[in-house]
């Protein structure tokens, strides 16, 4: 079964991080990606640009309305995701625990697979 590991954090902290801190985080994500590959669980994932680069599309009176910025203003923003193959939720949570400390919040959600 596929699960999305959605990583949320305070963008301000990342924007203000020095190069050494960023390098440590990227190296840790590299190790995590290698763990997923070694277990045959890597199905993709990406870092996302900062939320101020987002464009949100909503219907307004039946017409699409586009606005600059993220869907919602929150303390933590979606910064990236991993898509993993896991036997079950317990294994997906095991992967999420490996990410603990790299991101403020990791949301684990099953992927709905359609035939």
pLDDT, tens digit, 9 for 90 and up, residues 13-47? 998 999 999 999 999 999 999 999 999 999 999 99
State the pLDDT confidence band at 74, using cuts at 50, 70 and 90: confident
Could you say which DSSP state residue 61 is in?
T
What pLDDT is recorded for position 101?
A: 83
pLDDT digits (tens, 9 = 90+) for 84-103: 999 999 999 999 999 988 88
Instruction: Please tell me the distance from the alpha carbon of residue 24 to that of residue 16, in angstroms, as a whole number.
Output: 14
Number of H helices, E strands in the chain: 3, 6
Grouping H, G, I as helix, E, B as strand and the rest as coil, residue 92 is: helix
Domain 2-110 is found in CATH 3.40.50.300: no
Element (H, E) at 63: strand 63-68
d(CA 115, CA 109): 19
């Amino acid at each position: 079964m596929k699960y999305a590991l959605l990583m949320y954090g305070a963008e301000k902290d990342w924007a203000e991080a020095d190069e050494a801190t960023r390098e440590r985080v990227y190296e840790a994500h590299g190790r995590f990606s290698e763990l997923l590959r070694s277990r045959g669980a890597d199905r993709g994932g990406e870092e996302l640009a900062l939320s101020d680069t987002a464009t949100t599309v909503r219907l307004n009176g039946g017409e699409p309305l586009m606005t600059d910025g993220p869907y919602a203003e929150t303390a933590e923003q979606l910064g990236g995701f991993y898509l993993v193959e896991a036997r079950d939720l317990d294994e997906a949570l095991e992967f999420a625990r490996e990410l603990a400390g790299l991101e403020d919040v990791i949301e684990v959600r099953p992927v709905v697979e359609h035939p």
